[in-house]
Structure 1
Amino acid sequence: MFKPTAGEKLVELLIEWGVDHIYGMPGDSINSIIEPLRKAKDKIKFIQVRHEEAGALAAAAYAKLTGKIGVCTAIAGPGAIHLLNGLYDAKLDRVPVLAITGQVESDLIGTDFFQEVNLERMFDDVAVYNQRIMSADQLPAVVNQAIRTAYAKKGVAVLTVPDDIPRFEVGKEARITTSFVVKQEIHPLSEDLQKAKEMIETTEKAIILAGKGLHGHRDTLLAFAEKIAAPIILTLPGKGVIPDKHPYCLGGLGLIGTKAAYEAIHEADLLIMLGTSFPFTGFLPGKIKTIQIDIDPYQIGKRYPVDIGLAGDVGISLKWLSKNLNVKTDRDFLEKSQETMKKWWDRLERQEENGSVPLKPQRVIRALQEVTKDDAILSVDVGNVTVWMARHFHMTNQKFIISSWLATLGCGLPGAIAGSIAYPEKQVIAVCGDGGFGMMMADFVTAVKYQMPMVVVVLNNHKIAMIKFEQEVMGNIEYETDLTNPNFAQYANACGGMGYRVEQPDELLPALQQAVQQNKPCIVDVVVDADEAPLPAKITFAQAAGYTKHMVKVLFEEGKLDLPPL
């Protein structure tokens, strides 16, 4: 009677769970897993990345895009260590990821053998489930428990597999468990819903702050906002929940935000937080009545004081409120906010029309808007590029992913790789700064190898520009933020893709139009103005004072400002 090896059983279970690809690099301590993956290559594809961090970031991005578990693998020691950044991205953005790492053989553990690292200890903080496989018979139950836990707790599961275990046979005495996860509907307490209804009806200027928990609830959110005449502010992970140009949308809040959002939230008398645990509480009002709805009770009141908390599914909660609330007829607050937002859009459009050289990054985003399809996948890196995309790209029905809580540079390209796998029929665009792209640029050849049509737009200012701005706002002189970059367009060509270099305004739109028509990975390398600061919509006195202090220091160093005589 045929008995599968533990390695074969592992692959079989992944397929049962609906896993159709895995990111990683082959290596000595996982070769006993790679072989069964090779045999099952028609059902589960191995995506060979050039750096394990890219694989973990891609796995996290895949989970963000689809809700399905992302899977990555690495050898013991250095490979496993490289996974950490991507796994922390998954942890902080609360998406399911499974990491399968090799380990030295069972009888060598604890002997300080070559590449031996205490992986259970190393992964303890990042994982919601973290186990070493102890035997072939144990493996099936543990694999199922790991994946089930990752889904249920929306986090990272790590399986450490000693190199000898996958070669052993799984006996008939092995425990058989279930390879699926059960979903549930969670309703808030009826008394809490009633309290929220009463508070909403006794206030005059309600405003909504909507996060990523609202994705998939567009119509429900808009019906609720219409019922209570409340404008909507979107968190960065919530971008795309409703179209950016929708009459109820006031854009974002904070450094990436709009003047309309800032003014409205400080005029409002009721804040309704939906599906978000907004971290930047300095941009929220000092004192305001607050209702928070979140499926996780742990998140309610965690960062900002609330008066009423609804622990339950946000869609169910909003439908109940919309059904039971009276229609608000006074729309003065909403209309005032809409008028301020219209002026904000006019201001941004003037910035986007600037034809100076080097190009303004705002102009690049406007041109990108013209070539982006309505259902495109947008993977946005971290830095100034985040600000430009958050403010100037008008989402309609596109999917938008970013490293929101960890905010790790380098997430843009791996996110596009994941997007190409998740949605091979859709347009995929990565928008990166030169700093972020430089961190993961080796994996552009991964996109070439697997023939993934995508466009990588690099805003190239030879600078870690957001850090330059942060240093200046602190009153310091910019230091060690310059970057020495290759010609990224030539790099694309050398990798087997297509490259376009843009230095003049009239080159921009043609380059983007050509890139999106190619059936291969492309890089559009756009030289942009390094001195274009991502100023917040509302500049504080401390920021203005810090920047003034910085300018005085610069003038002194350049000899353009003399000390007054004694």
Structure 2
Amino acid sequence: MSDARTTWHKVADLDELPEDRVRTVVADGKWICLTHVDGRYGALDNHCPHQGGPLGEGTIENGLLRCPWHGWDYCPLTGASPAGFDERVPSYPVEVRDDGIYVGIEPEPAPSETVSDVMARTLCAWGVRHVFGMVGHSNLGLADALRRRTEAGELEYVAVRHEGAAAFAASAYGKLTGRPAACLTIAGPGATNLLTGLWDAKVDRAPVLALTGQVQTQVFGPGAFQEIDLSSAFGAVARFSHTVLPSSRHGELMSLACKHALVERDVAHLIFPDDVQDLEAPTGATIGSPAGRIGDVEITPPPAALAAATERLRAAKRPLIVLGHGARGRTAGVVELAERLGACVVTTFKGKGLIGDDHPLAGGVLGRSGTPIASWFMNECDLICVFGASFSNHTGITTHKPIVQVDYDRSQLARFHAVDVPVWGEIDVTARALAAQLERDPGANDRVDQRTELAERWALWRAEKARRRADDRGRGVNSAAVFEALGRLCDPRAIVAVDVGNNTYSFGRYFECRDNAVLMSGYLGSIGFGYPAAMGAWAATRTDDPAVAGRQVLCVTGDGGFGQYLAEVTTAVRHGMNITHVLLNNSELGKISKEQASGEWPVWQTDLVNPDFAAYVTSCGGLGIRVTDVADLDAALERALAHDGPATVEVLTDVELV
């Protein structure tokens, strides 16, 4: 007999399931094993009570339903085990009607809140708005809790094709916003696929939350299927890594993970054993939140350090200001200080875009990916004032000049060598304090206002870039032309995610930023970062953060980098991501070829066999355009930029003209 509240769902036509056969059907969201034996139909829960095997993929043998995984038998009509066994599969009422086979589903009580629900709600309370990941067999309970938060409008879930892309996307999101996104994976290989992207986040100081499934607690240790020691695997990359246990304070555990990611600007990791995820939450379990848990970040520098730095700036006649990635989002006070001093401002490559190249005091990027303008002003200066940069060898900040270094992270001060004045303080606060001190006593009255020299140097460099754009060896478009066109046609506030290789060096050298934000794999330098990073940037633009909301998203890669994650085009199509991708295709790992040649090694194994990338993107549902002639470049970029969805402009480029 069925309950009066039973709802009936047609699951098959009368002639659809032959005698002595089974199949899986779905009714009211439930997976059901439908059987047909001796002229009668049965409907059983699809999960074998032994280990969850899919009974709808089983067989009828000797009048019994046999589980396809381990051969356990059940009555195909009632779900009872043969005599001598106690297991039973839940069954559903069945009606054979004139138009087909119907299964009755009785209403279930509202589900109890699970451990995963408590942790997902806490995650949202801490302001996490995006999860990138893959749903799989060892994270289903957690995934279901995230689904409920997504359906409630508190989260947006981005289903990727490779977990590495999830980690890169979350890393880029953290770099851009200063807030963590999460990445979700299964145990074993899904979890280990995150590691490269998480290391990228760690070394570039981006907050990320990693949520990994794990095997059931009862099989910890012996080496169950897909079991690895995740605590050890993530021990070096994660500032915070803990396993969620039945006895954990679940809201507090998620709060601590979120806090570590935010405050330490690092990776936080939680391990969710399969059997813990859907446990009923303990009575009285509370949701964590950031209220009262985060201190003020406006660190004022110690008076002595501030006074010493001020004195150096007062005495300098040609100071140079260097902006690094650590100053992202905190540059207004630094620009105010530069304007008071008339000082040139250059950036590290990771800091590209922190001051627009159209600012009269901007000198472009310093170092290997930079401009001759920045190098000239570094050579001519008598003091270097560094904000949020770590003196990597790629940047090449000279150590032969007096240096004032300002950073919010004490460990970054004088990291590689001694500096004259290390200043611990929040960057914007410290810069404004220095400007205020100089307003009261500006110091040297013969200080050079460097605006005129900067205009002259920019004119020289732009003339050189124009000459390079005219270069044509008949072997593809040159990079100077690509980035001049992109800079001219894109939105001045576009977010640009770049990859690794010659394409990135050329971007740093030729693309003139205005109010752009640039994302890259800085210290790790991981090829493949670009396209997943653009996905993370796109997700960030869908928040209500005024610094990023609604901004255009661009992606710049080479063929080597894009080849590592090209399946993510289908992710972009699925989610309607408005990403304009510029792909420089020279059929070679060009940067490596140059390194081999310059080191007097033979150029070896750097050539690539590529598809027609534009046709591939089109086949995925995006817009793909291939450019072989510079005359077609503007029209292709304009069409791609106007396209509502993922678009790729594949430019066949000359490997030597970078």
Indicate the SS of the match to 1:256. coil
CA deviations 1:478-537 (Å, max 9, x no partner) are 11110111000100111011110100111111111111111121111100001225xxxx
Q: Is the 8 A contact 1:259 1:341 kept in 2?
A: no
Aligned equivalent of 1:246, options 350, 359, 369: 359
Q: CA deviation at 1:115?
A: 0.5
Who is 1:483 aligned against? 608
Match of 2:294 in 1: 182
Cα distance in structure 2, aligned partners of 1:96 and 1:201 = 37
1:67 aligns with 2:178: yes
Structure 1 or 2: more helix by fraction: 1
Aligned to 1:458: 583
User: By how many angstroms is 1:237 displaced?
Assistant: 1.9
Aligned to 1:31: 140
Deviation (angstroms), 1:304:
3.2
| 2:121 alignment partner, one of 12, 28, 42 | 12
Distance 1:133 1:419 in 2: 30
Question: Which residue number corresponds to residue 311 of structure 1?
Answer: 424
The 10-residue stretch of structure 1 (173-182 or 66-75) with the greater mean CA deviation from structure 2: 173-182
Deviations 1:162-221 (A, max 9, x none): 100012112125476544442412111111111111122223221111112333344422
> Which residue of structure 2 aligns with residue 149 of structure 1?
260
The letter of the residue matching 2:554 is I
Q: 1:349 aligns with which of 466, 470, 473?
A: 466
Q: 2:595 aligns to what?
A: 470
SS in 2 for 1:458: strand
Corresponding letter in the other structure for 2:360:
P
What letter is aligned with 1:249?
A
SS in 1 for 2:235: coil
Amino acid at match of 1:259: P
- Alignment partners' CA distance in 2, 1:215 and 1:41: 30
Aligned-partner SS, 1:29: coil
Number of residue pairs aligned between Structure 1 and Structure 2: 533
Structural mapping, 1:375-414, within 5 Å: 375-414=493-532
Moved more, 92-101 or 338-347: 338-347
Could you tell me which residue of structure 2 aligns to residue 549 of structure 1? none
Displacement of 1:475 in angstroms is 1.8
1 or 2 for the larger relative contact order (CA 8 Å, sep ≥6)?
1
Shift of 1:36: 2.1
- Does structure 2 retain, via aligned residues, the 8 Å contact 1:137–1:174? no
Q: CA deviation at 1:315?
A: 1.1
State how far apart, in whole Å, the 1-side matches of 2:471 and 2:404 are: 42
Q: Please state whether the residue corresponding to 2:320 is helix, strand or coil.
A: strand
- Alpha-carbon distance, 1:56 to partner: 0.6
Moved more, 133-142 or 390-399: 133-142
State the one-letter code of the partner of 1:427: Q
SS of 2:567's equivalent in the other structure is helix
CA shift at 1:300, angstroms?
A: 0.5
Residues 313-339 of structure 1: per-residue CA shift (max 9 Å, x gap): 111111111111144543547244553
- Contact 1:250–1:338, Cα closer than 8 Å, also in 2: no
**CA distance 1:333–1:480, shift in 2 (3 Å):** farther
For 2:224 and 2:393, the matched residues in 1 are separated by 45
Alignment-mate amino acid for residue 153 of structure 1:
E
Instruction: Name 1:108's counterpart in structure 2.
Output: 219
**Cα distance in 1 for residues equivalent to 2:351 and 2:628:** 33
Query: Which of the numbers 355, 367, 389 marks the counterpart of 2:485?
Result: 367
Q: Paired residue for 2:435, among 322, 326, 329?
A: 322
SS state at 1:169 partner: coil
- For the residues of structure 1 that align with 2:497 and 2:295, how far apart are their CA atoms? 28
SS at match of 2:200: helix
2: distance between equivalents of 1:89 and 1:281?
16
Counterpart of 1:517? Answer: 642
Report the secondary structure of 1:305's partner residue.
Answer: coil
| Whole-Å separation in 2 of the counterparts to 1:85 and 1:246 | 36
State whether residues 132 and 183 of structure 2, in contact with CA within 8 Å, keep that contact through their aligned partners in structure 1. Answer: yes
Q: Is the 8 A contact 1:140 1:176 kept in 2?
A: yes
Contact 1:500/1:511 (<8 A) preserved: yes
Alignment-derived partner of residue 228 in structure 2:
117
| 2:14 corresponds to | none
Answer whether contact 1:262 1:283 (CA < 8 A) is retained: no
The worse-fitting range, judged by mean Cα deviation, of 379-388 and 101-110 is 379-388
Where 2:464 maps in the other structure, the secondary structure is helix
SS at match of 2:170: helix
Question: Partner amino acid for 2:259?
Answer: R
Provide Cα deviations, 1:431-469, integer angstroms capped at 9, x if missing partner.
Answer: 111001001111110000111121111000001011111
Provide the TM-score with structure 1 as the length reference: 0.90
2:272 maps to which residue? 161
Residue in structure 1 matched with residue 569 of structure 2 by the alignment: 444
**Secondary structure of 2:321 counterpart:** strand
Superposition deviation, residue 389 in structure 1: 1.3
Q: 1:154 to 1:320 in 2, by over 3 A?
A: same
Residues 499, 556 of structure 2: 8 Å contact kept = yes
- The answer to whether the 8 A contact 2:125-2:288 is kept is no
Which residue is equivalent to 2:162?
51
CA distance in 2: counterparts of 1:400 and 1:52, whole angstroms: 23
Please tell me the residue identity of whatever aligns with 2:510. H
> Of 297, 304, 312, which aligns to 1:191?
304
Match of 1:276 in 2: 389
One-letter amino acid of the counterpart of residue 501, structure 2:
G
What code does the residue aligned with 2:446 have? D
Q: CA deviation at 1:3?
A: 4.7
Partner of 2:328: 215
Q: Which amino acid aligns with 1:309?
A: P
Compared CA separation, residues 471 and 352, structure 1 to 2 (3 A): same
Deviation string, structure 1 residues 4-24 (Cα, Å, up to 9, x no partner):
111211221122122222111
* More off after superposition, 484-493 vs 236-245: 236-245
Q: Deviations over 1:371-396 (max 9, x none)?
A: 20122121111111111111211111
Deviations 1:230-273 (A, max 9, x none): 21110112111111132211111221122222232123221111
After superposition, what is the alpha-carbon deviation per residue over 1:271-296, rounded to whole angstroms, capped at 9, x for unaligned?
A: 11111112117833342211100011
Conservation of the 8 A alpha-carbon contact between 1:57 and 1:411: yes
**Contact 1:22–1:73 (CA under 8 A) maintained in structure 2:** yes
- The structure with more radius of gyration: 2
Percent identity reads 34
Contact 1:229–1:330 (CA<8 Å) still a contact in 2?
A: no
Please give the alpha-carbon distance, in whole angstroms, between the structure 1 residues aligned to 2:565 and 2:368. 25
Q: Give the letter for the 1:351 counterpart.
A: R
Q: Secondary structure at the match of 1:373?
A: coil
2:126–2:289 CA contact under 8 A, matched in 1 = no
Structure-2 separation of matches of 1:147 and 1:321: 33
- Judging changes above 3 Å, is the alpha-carbon distance between structure 1 residues 459 and 301 closer, same or farther for their aligned structure 2 residues? same
Structure number with the higher strand fraction is 2
Structure 2: distance between partners of 1:503 and 1:37: 45
Which amino acid in structure 2 is aligned with residue 397 of structure 1? Answer: D
Please, which runs of 5 or more residues in structure 1 have no aligned partner?
534-566
Equivalent residues of 2:622, 2:647 under 8 A apart: yes
* Secondary structure, counterpart of 1:131 in structure 2: strand
* Aligned residue in 1 for 2:198: 87
CA distance in 1 between counterparts of 2:300 and 2:445 reads 29
Q: How far off its partner does 1:126 sit?
A: 0.4
Q: Does 1:415 align with 2:533?
A: yes
- Tell me how large the CA RMSD over aligned residues is: 1.9
Q: 1:237 aligns with which of 341, 344, 350?
A: 350
